[in-house]
């Protein structure tokens, strides 16, 4: 019998609606309170359930992500866990999932899920998503695929999935590539393989890694505001294929002169950032200045990757190589 460690962290899946319709955290996660939860799985597996946090996902921090990572490692190494399911609020779910994907060895299945509707709302999706996540963690085929996100009958990679709608239950999507698997009758069907990446082991996380989004008419004020001794790195969601307004360049050059690594992604929903355009503020110039182009990740994921890399002590060419490619 397989042992599946269930770690509840809070979020909508653990909340209930009040009489006014507002969602609020419960004193106890409803999934923790269901005595018959084990019965959903016909005694084919053993659930070991723990409430590690009870937080709305905007309250999640990299330090808490690290504590979650450490709990999973302990379960695998000391408790003989065969798979892990994490329930999480959806606002920052993709960031926690990707942090774990970068810092956990890709051995036992680790599956993150959540809900878009509270536990007592009509059409609540929490219990169903939870059940699908457990069946995925139970599957032998889920081993070695990195951290997975299971929502709405679909299996996505933590690396590329993102939240695309504020309220729709089908909010989690993987732009360009689509899901790698589907849930059907308690069985997971995988259709794609994910290119593996090297695990980046860390024992702490640094602060001072920021995400800024470019816009028409942007100048250097925001970049100057974060030009501080406590700033360790910056990610920019640039325009189009990877371009910035020319008025930003003096402040960016100052940041680079202060040896603050700057990573660039596109603010576009699909595609990758590249050094295509050769004009003032174009990608060709930005790359020559020393900005690192991160291909294939969105801004929040690139920030997590830069944060993990810096927490691991990566610098110079090693940092550039690690951050540059989403599959490295």
Q: Which residues are catalytic?
A: 12
CB 247 within 8 A of CB 218: yes
Distance CA 146, CA 88 (A): 17
CA 71 to chain centre: 17
What are 182's strand-pairing partners?
154, 189
The residue written with tokens 């890399």 in the block is: 309
Please enumerate in sequence order all residues whose Cβ is within 8 A of that of 242, keeping only pairs 6 or more positions apart, or say none: 264, 265, 266, 273, 274, 275, 276, 277, 283, 286, 293
Contact call for residues 148 and 179 (beta carbons, < 8 A): no
255 within 8 A of 328, measured Cβ to Cβ: no
End-to-end CA gap in the chain: 35
Q: Residue 236, SS3?
A: strand
Q: 3-state class of 146 per DSSP?
A: coil
What CA–CA distance (Å, rounded) separates 282 from 214?
A: 13
**Two tokens, residue 54:** 């009870």
At residue 39, φ and ψ (nearest 5 deg) are -65, -15
Give the span between the Cα atoms of 92 and 61, in whole angstroms. 9
Question: CA 162, CA 23: separation in Å to the nearest integer?
Answer: 22
Distance CA 82, CA 140 (A): 10
Alpha-carbon gap, residue 115 to 170, rounded angstroms: 10
């Amino acid at each position: 019998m397989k042992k599946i460690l269930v770690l509840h962290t809070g979020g909508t899946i653990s909340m209930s609606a009040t009489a006014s319709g507002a969602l609020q955290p419960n004193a106890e996660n409803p999934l923790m309170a269901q005595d018959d939860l084990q019965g959903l799985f016909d005694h084919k597996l053993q659930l070991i359930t723990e409430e590690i946090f009870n937080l709305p996902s905007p309250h999640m921090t990299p330090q808490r992500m690290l504590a979650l990572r450490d709990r999973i490692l302990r379960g695998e190494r000391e408790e003989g866990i065969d798979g892990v399911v994490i329930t999480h609020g959806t606002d920052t779910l993709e960031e926690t999932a990707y942090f774990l994907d970068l810092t956990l060895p890709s051995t036992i299945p680790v599956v993150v899920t959540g809900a878009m509707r509270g536990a007592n709302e009509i059409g609540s999706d929490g219990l169903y998503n939870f059940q699908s996540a457990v069946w995925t963690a139970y599957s032998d085929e889920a081993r070695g695929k990195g951290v997975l996100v299971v929502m709405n009958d679909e299996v996505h990679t933590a690396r590329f999935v993102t939240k695309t709608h504020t309220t729709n239950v089908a909010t989690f999507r993987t732009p360009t590539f689509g899901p790698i698997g589907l849930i059907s009758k308690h069985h997971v069907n995988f259709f794609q393989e994910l290119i593996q990446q090297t695990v980046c082991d860390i024992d702490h996380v640094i602060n001072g890694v920021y995400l800024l989004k470019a816009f028409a008419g942007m100048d250097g004020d925001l970049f100057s505001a974060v030009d501080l001794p406590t700033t360790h790195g910056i990610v920019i969601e640039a325009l189009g294929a990877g371009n910035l307004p020319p008025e930003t360049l003096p402040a960016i050059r100052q940041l680079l002169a202060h040896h603050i690594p700057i990573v660039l992604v596109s603010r576009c929903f699909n595609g990758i950032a590249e050094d295509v355009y050769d004009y003032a503020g174009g990608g060709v110039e930005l790359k020559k200045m020393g900005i690192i182009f991160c291909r294939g990740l969105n801004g929040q994921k690139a920030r997590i990757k830069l944060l993990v890399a810096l927490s691991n002590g990566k610098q110079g060419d090693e940092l550039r190589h690690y951050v540059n490619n989403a599959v490295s």
